[in-house]
Amino acid sequence: MFGETSRIPVDLLIASAMQDRYLKAPVKDIASIDLLISDQDVRDTQTGMDFQVARKLRTNRIDVASFVDMQYLREAQKEIGEGKYPALSQIRVER
């Protein structure tokens, strides 16, 4: 759906997904997931948001850094490290 409405070529969307650390391959072990967002992640996301504004896909600029709150991600990362997580087979995405 996003590919159809974004006017971004599908091959570019696929290439972008292949650069994502968790979209390019299935996660085999939840303990290997690193939920923390780096400064580089924020900069990369900001670049993507600015690109959308430049392409007129978004009308207002969003300051990505102002939306990043690591508190909950750190808590989740700690729980994963302690083994407090569901089996990956139990996680479902509802559509």
Task: Encode pLDDT of 33-68 as tens digits.
Answer: 888 889 999 999 999 999 999 999 999 999 999 999
Mean pLDDT of the chain: 84
Listed in order, strand segments (DSSP E) in 2-95 are: none
Q: CB of 74 within 8 A of CB of 82?
A: no
pLDDT level of residue 2 (50, 70, 90 thresholds):
low
Residue 9 in any domain: the answer is no
Residue 60 makes CB contacts below 8 A (sequence gap 6+) with 53
Residue 86 in any domain: the answer is yes
Number of domains in the chain: 1
pTM (whole model) above 0.85? no
Q: CB of 35 within 8 A of CB of 76?
A: yes
Q: DSSP label at 59?
A: S
**Domain of residue 84, residue span:** 27-90
Q: How far apart are CA 78 and CA 74, in angstroms?
A: 6
Residue 38 in any domain: the answer is yes
